[in-house]
Structure 1
Amino acid sequence: MQESFELLVDRIISTTPQILAAITSLVVLIFIGRLASSGVGRLLGDDRTKGVKQVRLIKRLVRWAFNVLGLVIALHLVGLTQVATSFLAAGGVVAVVLGFAFREIGENLLAGLFLSFSRSFDVGDLIESNGIRGIVQRIEIRDVHIRTADGCDIFIPSVTIYKNPLHNFTRDGLRRGSFIIGVDYGDDLQKARETLLKTVQDHKLTLANPAPNILIAGFTAAYVELEVFFWIDTFSNDRELGEIRSQVMDGCHKTLAEKGFTYSSNVTTAIDMLPVSVNINQDKKTS
């Protein structure tokens, strides 16, 4: 008993530097993991209006990565290299099994992480993806919450947005509106274009740069189509494009009427019916 106890004490004393080194390495890496996690949080921004959940998840993944690395190094320093290898191998097997079992969830998580770094859209932006258009309300790891114009809340999976083309209508604050109005073939088209252009330019919510434009869009059987293009700045006012478009259309309608143009609603294709006399009396030949 005494010899066994002395042998155990000698072994503990001989391995004390390795144990201390292992503990020190584990503590240092845990501390570094916390610092790295905080640095990642500051880099990504902890603003609650910009999808704070994905930031927390990324910080947690960074911290746990350093914790696992510290544990593996500690096991290796105390001579438990085989245990560390088995631990990593078991973790790899579990990761593979979970990856197959939760493939769709994993795809959404990875897509959410990539979307967090790419910053192709943000809360408050008007986006369209896979035929769904709405204003972004929340950006989560698994999905993106948008609200459509009719008030419907839709949660689009992150992988859907990541795999499909994304249309961001408000990223730079510029949006273009357009509509078509028709004038009679007998009207002066150039004068009509100039009249419409001045009307659009005089509107207080349309931009001078990019400049508005009036183009001949096509010819129909009853009238000539003029297409009106204009731009608005969504950052400088709280009016929606649809409301501004209605105001511009109303102004163009009134201006054409005041200037004497025959616009599309007044154009008619009626045919004048002229009186026709038909003589049904025929001379009869007598035999």
Structure 2
Amino acid sequence: MKLMQVNTNRFTTNLFNVLEQYWEQFIFVLPRLGIAILILLVTFLLASQVKKIVDNRVAPHAQNPLSVLFVSKVAKITIVIIGLLLALQTIGLTGVAGGLLAGAGVSAFIIGFAFKDIGENFLAGFILAFNAPFKVGDAIKVGEYRGHVVSLNMRTTHLKTFDTMDVYIPNATVLKSEVTNMTQDNLIRLDFLVGIDYSDDVDTAEQLIIDTMKEVLEVLPQPEAFVVTEELATNTVNIRAFFWTDTDDYKRGILDVKGQVIKAVKKALLTNGFGLPANIQELKTYQDMPLAVQIKENKPS
């Protein structure tokens, strides 16, 4: 019984000694811990402030805001990582911080296989940011998707399609795909086909179509609108009309403006006596013989 009591007392004494040592170490480290927390707070605030300044003040005046916004995201992450390493060194975990840096090469090799797609998309984002095939607000086509560029993120390119859907395309896919920028020059050429009667004067119809397109407010004066006689179809002489419009709003340009021009041309042609024949099937016989035509009337029952 006495032996058990001695062992219990010894265990209690050792436990208190260990706790006391830990407490002394905690008291010793406490100022450093406070400094480390302060470093982390300052780092997070600094990173956020840098990103905010770049996004709000630098990007709007930059020639390529998309690349500036992308770099600001990378800079924020870099500042946070540096702050984390400084905090670890302040606490006294220099070995951990050094190990993180020393093992960066090995880690990158190992993680490279596990997160191949993430790394590929990240690097593709860098190339897209500085190659600048598009900027925020541009209407582009990537594969089957058409829409306005909202942002270039670390891993994806954000598009807002013309039917207001949000599409996130991996940066590597964008980089490897054929990208069509439909608004880079701030104008787009549209065209439509109109068929007039064979008895109408083609030259007069063409000039009337050109004059009518120029009267539509949204049609640009330069480059000038023009027409070409494209085809002698079964029932009509087909004329294709071409005009340019602004692409500040691409969706409106390809839908609304084109519709306005077509309606104006139709009205002008009909007002000036031009025929717009329907698709009529013509039967022609090459022998001089009459054809009997019988019309069947439906009698009311």
TM-score (normalizing by structure 2): 0.64
2:74 equivalent to 1:58: yes
Instruction: For 1:122-271, list aligned pairs within 5 A.
Output: 122-235=135-248, 239-263=252-276, 265-266=277-278, 268-271=280-283
Asked whether the 8 Å contact 1:53–1:141 carries over to 2, the reply is no
Instruction: For 1:75-154, list aligned pairs within 5 A.
Output: 90-154=103-167
1:82-133: CA deviation from partner (whole Å, max 9, x where unpaired): x97x876532111111111111111111111222222322222111011211
Asked whether the 8 Å contact 2:50–2:72 carries over to 1, the reply is no
Asked whether the 8 Å contact 2:54–2:68 carries over to 1, the reply is no
Q: Kindly provide the amino acid, as one letter, of the partner of residue 263 in structure 2.
A: D
Change (3 A) 1:238 1:151: closer
Separation in structure 2 between the aligned mates of residue 155 and residue 108 of structure 1, nearest angstrom: 12
Shift of 1:186: 2.4
Structure 1, gaps ≥5 residues long: 1-33, 71-82, 278-287
Q: Residue 240 of structure 1: SS of its match in structure 2?
A: helix
Identity of aligned residues (%): 29
Residue matched to 1:24? none
Separation in structure 2 between the aligned mates of residue 219 and residue 259 of structure 1, nearest angstrom: 22
Separation in structure 1 between the aligned mates of residue 250 and residue 149 of structure 2, nearest angstrom: 19
Structure 2, gaps ≥5 residues long: 1-45, 87-96, 293-301
Q: Residue 121 of structure 1: SS of its match in structure 2?
A: coil
1:129-165: CA deviation from partner (whole Å, max 9, x where unpaired): 1121112223212112212222222111111111112
Q: Residue 97 of structure 1: SS of its match in structure 2?
A: helix
Shift of 1:241: 2.7
Q: Residue 268 of structure 1: SS of its match in structure 2?
A: coil
Q: Kindly provide the amino acid, as one letter, of the partner of residue 201 in structure 2.
A: D
TM-score (normalizing by structure 1): 0.67
Shift of 1:199: 0.6
Query: RMSD of the TM alignment (CA)?
Result: 3.9
Separation in structure 1 between the aligned mates of residue 249 and residue 76 of structure 2, nearest angstrom: 39
Separation in structure 2 between the aligned mates of residue 110 and residue 127 of structure 1, nearest angstrom: 21
Q: Kindly provide the amino acid, as one letter, of the partner of residue 170 in structure 1.
A: T
Aligned length, in residue pairs: 234
Asked whether the 8 Å contact 2:67–2:130 carries over to 1, the reply is no
Asked whether the 8 Å contact 1:125–1:170 carries over to 2, the reply is yes
Separation in structure 2 between the aligned mates of residue 237 and residue 157 of structure 1, nearest angstrom: 24
Q: Residue 103 of structure 2: SS of its match in structure 1?
A: helix
Q: Kindly provide the amino acid, as one letter, of the partner of residue 56 in structure 1.
A: S
Separation in structure 2 between the aligned mates of residue 201 and residue 275 of structure 1, nearest angstrom: 50
1:250-272: CA deviation from partner (whole Å, max 9, x where unpaired): 01111111121122x44633448
Q: Residue 255 of structure 2: SS of its match in structure 1?
A: helix
Change (3 A) 1:237 1:128: closer
Shift of 1:63: 4.6
